[in-house]
Structure 1
Amino acid sequence: MTSSERRALGGLIAPAFHEAHKAVRRGQVGELVLTGGRGSAKSSCAAIELLVQLMRHPDCHAVALRRVGRTLRTSVWSQLLWAMERMGLEDEFETNVGRMELVRRTTGQCVWCFGLDDAAKLKSIKPPFGYIGAVWFEELDQFSGPDQVRSAEQSLLRGQGQSLVIKSFNPPPLPSSWVNRYVRQPKPGMLVVHSDYRSLPPHWLGERFLQEAEHLRLTNERAYRHEYLGQVVGSGSLVFENLKLIPIREEEIARLERRYHGVDWGWFPDPWAFNSCGYDAARRVLYIFDEATRRRTSNADTARILLEKGVCAGDSETLIADSAEEKSCRDYRSMGLPCRGAEKGPGSVKAGMKWLQSLAEIRIDPARCPDTAKEFSEYEYDRDRASGQVLEGYPDRDNHHIDAVRYATSRIWRRAGG
């Protein structure tokens, strides 16, 4: 595309996606995941990027997908027509409304829209030349799961040229939803961009949209955060509402004065869990930047894992484990790890958990610590089956890394004012 065309795109793509667009253009992104709430412009961005991919690669074709075919016309098809018109490409593409197909007149490149409820059609797609190099999964959360999505990708992306997969969706409220888990597990070439309506110029949305959003914010804050901000708000019983799952840079770790390590003993089915943390007391931010998880692994072998990581190689580091297994603590000390058992007593679990909940932010790197991110983000209070009311106390399940972090930071929260 020419420089003037690129400048024109800058006025069509919402500011939240500018850096992502540049990264795609540089070939640094193979999978673009767009999440957000109402009016976040993620679908508009996806449609534009799909057409840009065709314009930049003349041997590339594209496919836009929904879970159910009957939803295509009012979603991906309408978005593609909008993008084509706004990009000034009406004369560039021939439109087949009945088949929901675009064909580029100068090259013969095609854009097809399909529903995965007719998988046979998907498998029968044969480009007239070149390869399918752009695939858009709209409303990803409505697909049945990662297996269905992966199967579609394998059926479509068979060529050798540069390809781009776009996945857009409004995050479901529950952290355990498969798409919410999916974005917490980054992989090479994958870029996740979250946006909401506040990043758009107000005139893009109109006064009525903004009034409706503000009304919901004032009357139902949780619904507002989910619907308009695209936040994973849970069912109202999440224990940790102060999580931030984002990458933690090496320079951020280096700035932390001390490193706190914790271990929760386990064998099978409960795992042995290890975490490394740092604490910024001035901002009340806890950084969790390393983990290890093992099952059926001896104390000697897990100790070697920590030694290889360089745990407690410096004087400003501590290693605290569950004191219920003093023998395991002794085993670690015999191998050169200064492992201490956590101080326990009445109310110690509640005190540690309340401290974690009181922090301004618990920052977890989901790439470095996927198991920890899963536990913290999905940990919920129990509810009474009859009334549905949230019950007091912290469930003792699926919390091994949570316990490891609690042990690691026990010296902080036990101090007065910690």
Structure 2
Amino acid sequence: MTDPFREIWRPHRYKVFYGGRGSGKSWAVAQALIVMCDMANIRVLCCREIQNSIKDSSYQILRDTAERLGISGRFSFLESEIRHKLTGSRFIFKGLLRNEQSVKSTEGIDLVWVEEAQTVSESSWEVLIPTIRKPGSEIWVTFNPLNADDPTTKRFIENPPPEAYVRKINFDENPHFPPELRAEMEHDKAVDYEKYLHIWEGFPRTVSDAQVFKGRYSVESFPDDLWKKADRLFFGADFGFARDPNTLIRCFMYDRKLYIDYEAYAVGIEIDELPAFYRTVPEVDNWPIHADAARPETISYLANRANPPFRISAASKWQGSIEDGVAYLKSFEKIIVHPRCKHTADEFRLYSYKVDKTTGEVLKAIVDKNNHAIDGLRYSLDGYITKPGLSKWARLAQ
């Protein structure tokens, strides 16, 4: 396994490690800082948004790390700071909230560690970053994302600054992930998948009443040959436009559940590359494909000029076909997405209804994004999703 923290030893103005619980981010950063301070004279500022006392800081994890490495005797653990007896290194601890002047007056800092940075406000970042101006100084950031629009997520994940190394790290890259946490993780994954994604996979909290498939799906493994117990396989294709991806989705129905077991998903696929792209999905030559009717020329090419040709046709569309398709998908007891279908899983998490920005009211209209795999899924079930209104299963579910 590649060390996810190897860049911690290379120069970057910003080193940002984020992700879910149990990834070992704080332990790795604490170890690097203790070792560095044992080797050279370094001044380290350890920050959190709120620090009412030293107990609220990273003081204890640094002390525990020095003891674990067997070098705690080289440090003096004082009431409000840590000093190295030989190199002269110092750890200073400060809260950022309502502490602007104290932060600004901190001089000569080599490294800053901002822990639990998901709670740091934009105003705190605007004070801290210009303060750290010593040549070669670095700002290290560790956090579990909170909301998609919180200041730290927007600053370092959505729009990372120049000279930033940004790395997402989760429990699956931690060789010391304890069995107690694994049991908690598996429980959350089984009973509350949205919670699992936020707590353990490090996704920002986006789950709300606006999420179209909230509580209706899970991502879990199942046997590759389970489809043979079903009546048939379904294939659906959505064609890419400009920067939008081409997708091909394979699914099947079994025991009142809908299983999605393969996806092809890529941007920039030329029309003559589509046959090879589609054939990365097993069994595609043996079953019909229903595709986006908006590209009849692409359907014609695949049906007549591909070698061998595909059994591909346009899926039906009508006013309200998206809503009818969503209703049909929600009529299954559960939609189960195989973990290898990563883009499909992401879309199920993000596919949302519009929200009135003033009132917060969830509207009936669906946002036209995060839907390329889901559109392919709807097309695959052409003939089962019917006009007008709801399918038989959806009517029974009401």
State yes or no: 1:267 paired with 2:249: no
Q: 1 CA distance for matches of 2:155 and 2:348?
A: 13
Provide closer, same or farther for how the CA distance between residues 395 and 309 of structure 1 changes in structure 2, counting only shifts above 3 A: closer
Give the equivalent residue in structure 2 for 1:240: 213
Provide closer, same or farther for how the CA distance between residues 66 and 342 of structure 1 changes in structure 2, counting only shifts above 3 A: farther
Within 5 A, what are the aligned runs for 1:268-347? 268=242, 271=244, 273-279=246-252, 281-282=254-255, 284-287=258-261, 289-294=263-268, 301-308=270-277, 310-311=279-280, 314=283, 315-336=285-306, 337-338=309-310, 339-345=312-318
Compute the displacement of 1:85 (Å).
9.4
State yes or no: 1:172 paired with 2:147: yes
Compute the displacement of 1:381 (Å).
1.6
Matched residue SS, 1:35: coil
Amino acid at match of 1:307: A
TM-score, structure 1 as length reference: 0.55
Give the equivalent residue in structure 2 for 1:76: 57
Compute the displacement of 1:391 (Å).
2.6
Provide closer, same or farther for how the CA distance between residues 27 and 70 of structure 1 changes in structure 2, counting only shifts above 3 A: same
Q: 2 CA distance for matches of 1:175 and 1:97?
A: 33
Q: 1 CA distance for matches of 2:152 and 2:334?
A: 25
Within 5 A, what are the aligned runs for 1:5-404? 27=3, 29-30=5-6, 33-35=18-20, 46-53=25-32, 59=39, 66=47, 75-80=56-61, 83=64, 91-95=73-77, 100=81, 102-105=82-85, 111=91, 125-126=109-110, 137-140=115-118, 142=120, 167-169=142-144, 171-172=146-147, 178=153, 182=157, 190-193=168-171, 232=205, 234-242=207-215, 260-265=234-239, 267-268=241-242, 271=244, 273-279=246-252, 281-282=254-255, 284-287=258-261, 289-294=263-268, 301-308=270-277, 310-311=279-280, 314=283, 315-336=285-306, 337-338=309-310, 339-345=312-318, 348-357=321-330, 358=332, 360-363=334-337, 369=343, 375-383=347-355, 388-397=360-369, 399-404=371-376
Coordinate RMSD, CA, aligned: 5.9
Provide closer, same or farther for how the CA distance between residues 234 and 312 of structure 1 changes in structure 2, counting only shifts above 3 A: closer
Amino acid at match of 1:363: V
Q: Which runs of 5+ in 2 are unaligned?
A: 7-15, 159-164, 173-179, 182-191
Moved more, 110-119 or 383-392: 110-119
Amino acid at match of 2:76: E
Compute the displacement of 1:32 (Å).
5.6
Compute the displacement of 1:271 (Å).
3.0
Post-superposition Cα deviations, 1:312-352, rounded to whole Å, max 9, x if no partner, equal 67344543211243333112223315222113456542332
Provide closer, same or farther for how the CA distance between residues 226 and 289 of structure 1 changes in structure 2, counting only shifts above 3 A: closer
Give the equivalent residue in structure 1 for 2:175: none
Post-superposition Cα deviations, 1:139-183, rounded to whole Å, max 9, x if no partner, equal 236365xx99xx99xx99x89xxxxx7722352277999479959
Provide closer, same or farther for how the CA distance between residues 59 and 84 of structure 1 changes in structure 2, counting only shifts above 3 A: closer
Amino acid at match of 1:191: I
Matched residue SS, 1:382: strand
> Kindly, what percent of the aligned residue pairs are identical?
16
TM-score, structure 2 as length reference: 0.57
Q: 2 CA distance for matches of 1:263 and 1:124?
A: 58
Matched residue SS, 2:205: coil
Provide closer, same or farther for how the CA distance between residues 361 and 332 of structure 1 changes in structure 2, counting only shifts above 3 A: same
Provide closer, same or farther for how the CA distance between residues 360 and 233 of structure 1 changes in structure 2, counting only shifts above 3 A: farther
Q: Is the 8 A contact 1:72 1:114 kept in 2?
A: no
Q: Which runs of 5+ in 1 are unaligned?
A: 1-22, 37-41, 127-131, 160-164, 201-220
Amino acid at match of 2:291: A
Q: 2 CA distance for matches of 1:141 and 1:417?
A: 44
Provide closer, same or farther for how the CA distance between residues 166 and 143 of structure 1 changes in structure 2, counting only shifts above 3 A: same
Compute the displacement of 1:397 (Å).
4.9
Q: How many residues align?
A: 339
Post-superposition Cα deviations, 1:231-278, rounded to whole Å, max 9, x if no partner, equal 8353422112147797x88x966765577543334535x735414344
Q: 1 CA distance for matches of 2:119 and 2:374?
A: 27
Q: 1 CA distance for matches of 2:265 and 2:153?
A: 22
Q: 2 CA distance for matches of 1:245 and 1:48?
A: 31
Matched residue SS, 2:325: helix
Amino acid at match of 1:293: V
